[in-house]
Structure 1
Amino acid sequence: MRYSMAARWEKRIKLLWSLPFPNRALRFFPPEFIIRDPLLSLVHAYRRKGLHYAVIVIHMDDFQNILAKIPYSLAQKLLQQLKYEFIDVLKRSFNESLILGVKQFNPDDFTVILKVDKDWTYEDLHQKEVCFRKDVELNLNHFMEQQLYGRLKFQSGSMIVGQSTEHTEAALQAAYYYALCVATDRLPAHFAPYRLRLQEIIKDKAIYVLTQPIMCLDTGEIFGWEVLTRGPQHSPFHTPTELFEFAHQADLLQELEYLVLEKAFLEISSRSITEQVFINITPISLMQPTLLVHVLNCLQQYPKILATQIIFEITERHSIRDYEQMGTILRNYRSHGFRFAVDDAGAGYSSLQSISELIPDMIKIDKSVIQNIDQVAVKQSLLRALLFFAADIKCQVIAEGIEREEEANILFDHQVKMGQGYYFAKPERMQFDYARTHVPHLKEKIMQMRAAYNI
């Protein structure tokens, strides 16, 4: 066994040293070198020029079952013959100067890597992908029937790979994965152009943040600000729901939330905000060790911002799977002075579990509880239960989604200390003179309500 392994390595190394760098002769189905992949070298050199490339995945449905029914030696011969047939169709379908290479990540699919013409759109790529798949299906099924293996069902997906991911191999692997998911109907056909668009938005930092005041209902002063994210206007990613949900689906959530943090710290610094600042963060990003490093770097960049100003608002978009590990992470953040709030309290079991397991510094009562609370006695009972629970674990309470005076009056009646909602102020881009023009008006509004309510 040792001799066999040594002999194989000796053969690999001799072949490796005989190759020019990069090697175009092995761009079609390169052997799986451990030290260097010649096709990957070609793609890397192409990317270094700042150019994009495309990946087309042709998937052969149920091909694994065919391979499982025939002897191993025959299966290997069939795979080799299919490769020859595939390359023949590929060269007839595309100008060879556009072909960077072909790779087989799995026995039941072929991955073609193409240079992207500067005038190509995703619609152009999709049309070429469909035409190519039909040619492959026609020719390879003809061969399969001749060999008495029967017909195969062919599926296809494609992706354009930009410059957002620095590591060439990681970018290629991700492109293959998403194109395969499109091919096998695990992702919609429009996923590829949307993901590229979101990558460009993140790269260009084309999001912006709004701020909404959180009011102290005792004094009428502004207690803090919640930072809310918006994508480019007139795009599918303008609203935070679409923006963050798609970022999660496209495996871009961490990059997006890092960008939100940068924008939030810039906003705090440029507007000289001295109150508390609430920044939404998902449990997925919180679990990443690099997030704390990123946040501490932001503090170093803006030395006037204090860690004690920042309250991370743990959103309920994604559930927490390991509360013990999350508790350890929160303790690490708290050692630097950061605090935490749990969002959407009262909206479901997960938020209540998060409160009981993590013991946050603040609880934000969900707008579904506050909406029409003056008309629904059950909601008032739920509010009292949440207030009792918060007092018992020494958490501050903020009521979200206040839109009507009657709702605010119920909160006064229950001695809720802080509130937030359109009734006081909508989310907007903070102006330099916001404090001078808005704060007196908001304070007067709250104090008049308290006077009218005899508080």
Structure 2
Amino acid sequence: MECVRCSVVPPSLPAAPSSILAFTAVPHIGSAIRKLALDAGLTVDVQPHGLIALTVPDDAWRPFLAAVEASTSVTERQSVRFAVADPSVTDAMAVAQLVFSARTAEEWCAGATSQWVRDAIVESRLFSQYQPIVDVRTGQPYGFESLLRARLEDGTVVTARSIIDGARRLDLLFQLDQHARLCAVRGAVNGLGTRRLFVNFLPTVIYNPEHCLATTMAALKQSGLRPDQVVFEVVESEQIVDRAHLVRILDYYRGHGFGVALDDVGAGYSSLNLLSELKPDLVKLDMELVQAAPGDALRTGILEAFVQFTERFGIGLIAEGVEDAETVERLRACGITLMQGYHFGRPGELAPQARDAAASAA
């Protein structure tokens, strides 16, 4: 059964409404909205029961939203609802239902700056680029990490962090995460060969693995990739609150034969504690450890300890953020053999022959 929360994208908000009904139960927020509306050139009509009718001149809506965002907090914006007024709706109960089912001011403000994320999802302008993870003992790719990208209408390519930030503001992380996983799988079908595919996912948006991952599982089955070729990589692990829930997700993946990995694992207690609880198949080292200055005995000691720890428990170790030959040699001296970074190749389309040649040359 497909997860509706993950697959349905809400309709876009109007770019330039002419008439808006605003409502908030917080008096001082209502006063602030009225003042900001007047300052932006809107006509304000205070109505009974806390309703505020706003008439919006041409080209005034976006400046008004910008002023709302600059002058209020996220919590305050979430306490206000903006509904596109419908002149045909006059019954008091119907008006109340219209307002209470409307989007919050925070959603409207987010839409004004991040609507491109929704458009990229709906218009299939999300895609994946792939960066090699190289086994330096052979110079060949061990696998590829799929990295999310969006292509804007003007052709500009936007990277994952901006996409995720925009989706978070629009409350579209569920939908984005599903589409990102599908892009990762579909884009790798013709170029992965026998290597492994690392697919990022946000555990906080998967509430029921059986439902939320159904579409991804179907795409993997259709792709012909073997389960043991696919590694699901937890991102934003530092934001995980419900670790028991994450264990259930990882157990679901493992139960289907997939590998699991943790990203950005550092030297702190929280990282080590997370490793002991989750028991991943692979971990990626925090770049601060990888890019330590030559001669930094403390960080070198930490790296060596990580190698010993992961070897003891059968966990694969990947160093990411490797940008030069000197770092390669320093990491190899610590016992690390799987590496990722610009030294081996930038993210791009998955073309096996070209990728293998680039990795060998490095």
Confirm or deny a common fold (TM above 0.5). yes
**Which amino acid in structure 2 is aligned with residue 125 of structure 1?**
W
Residue of structure 1 in register with 2:284 after alignment? 364
Q: Say if 1:205 and 1:400 are closer, same or farther in 2 by CA, change over 3 A.
A: same
Q: Say if 1:223 and 1:337 are closer, same or farther in 2 by CA, change over 3 A.
A: same
Taking the TM superposition and a 5 Å limit, the aligned residue runs for 1:343-422 are 343-346=263-266, 348-422=268-342
Highest RCO, 1 vs 2 (Cα 8 Å, sep ≥ 6): 2
Distance in 2 (CA, whole Å) between partners of 1:202 and 1:263 is 11
Residue of structure 1 in register with 2:217 after alignment? 296
Q: Say if 1:353 and 1:362 are closer, same or farther in 2 by CA, change over 3 A.
A: same
Residue of structure 1 in register with 2:104 after alignment? 178
Classify the secondary structure of the residue corresponding to 1:425.
Answer: coil
**Which amino acid in structure 1 is aligned with residue 126 of structure 2?**
I
Distance in 1 (CA, whole Å) between partners of 2:156 and 2:268 is 28
**Which amino acid in structure 1 is aligned with residue 115 of structure 2?**
L
> Root-mean-square deviation (CA), in Å?
3.9
**Which amino acid in structure 1 is aligned with residue 20 of structure 2?**
I
Residue of structure 2 in register with 1:219 after alignment? 138
Q: Say if 1:361 and 1:111 are closer, same or farther in 2 by CA, change over 3 A.
A: farther
How big is the shift at 1:373? 4.2
Distance in 1 (CA, whole Å) between partners of 2:64 and 2:23 is 16
- Kindly indicate whether the alpha-carbon contact (under 8 Å) linking 2:237 and 2:263 is maintained by their aligned counterparts in 1: no
Distance in 1 (CA, whole Å) between partners of 2:133 and 2:83 is 43
- Kindly indicate whether the alpha-carbon contact (under 8 Å) linking 2:282 and 2:316 is maintained by their aligned counterparts in 1: yes
- Kindly indicate whether the alpha-carbon contact (under 8 Å) linking 1:343 and 1:351 is maintained by their aligned counterparts in 2: no
Is 1:58 the equivalent of 2:4? no
Residue of structure 1 in register with 2:123 after alignment? 204
How big is the shift at 1:350? 4.2
Classify the secondary structure of the residue corresponding to 1:238.
Answer: strand
Distance in 1 (CA, whole Å) between partners of 2:100 and 2:194 is 42
Give the number of the structure whose alpha-carbon radius of gyration is greater.
1
- Kindly indicate whether the alpha-carbon contact (under 8 Å) linking 1:195 and 1:250 is maintained by their aligned counterparts in 2: yes
How big is the shift at 1:108? 3.8
Is 1:259 the equivalent of 2:179? yes
Distance in 2 (CA, whole Å) between partners of 1:372 and 1:63 is 53
Is 1:230 the equivalent of 2:149? yes
TM-score, normalization: structure 2?
A: 0.73
Stretches of structure 1 lacking an aligned partner (at least 5 in a row): 1-46, 66-92, 95-102, 131-154, 161-171, 183-188, 446-455
- Kindly indicate whether the alpha-carbon contact (under 8 Å) linking 1:129 and 1:156 is maintained by their aligned counterparts in 2: no
> Counting strand residues as a fraction of each chain, which structure ranks higher?
2
Is 1:315 the equivalent of 2:235? yes
Distance in 2 (CA, whole Å) between partners of 1:333 and 1:285 is 15
Distance in 2 (CA, whole Å) between partners of 1:408 and 1:220 is 12
TM-score, normalization: structure 1?
A: 0.59
How big is the shift at 1:210? 0.8
**Which amino acid in structure 2 is aligned with residue 418 of structure 1?**
L
Residue of structure 2 in register with 1:20 after alignment? none
Q: Deviations over 1:401-432 (max 9, x none)?
A: 0011111111111121211111111111223x
Distance in 2 (CA, whole Å) between partners of 1:156 and 1:235 is 35
Distance in 1 (CA, whole Å) between partners of 2:349 and 2:334 is 32
How big is the shift at 1:225? 0.3
Q: Say if 1:294 and 1:348 are closer, same or farther in 2 by CA, change over 3 A.
A: farther
How big is the shift at 1:243? 1.2
Q: Say if 1:351 and 1:230 are closer, same or farther in 2 by CA, change over 3 A.
A: farther
- Kindly indicate whether the alpha-carbon contact (under 8 Å) linking 2:344 and 2:358 is maintained by their aligned counterparts in 1: no
Q: Deviations over 1:286-305 (max 9, x none)?
A: 43433321221112332x11
Q: Say if 1:444 and 1:193 are closer, same or farther in 2 by CA, change over 3 A.
A: closer
Distance in 2 (CA, whole Å) between partners of 1:203 and 1:174 is 26
Q: 1:125 aligns with which of 58, 61, 64?
A: 61
**Which deviates more, 279-288 or 212-221?**
279-288
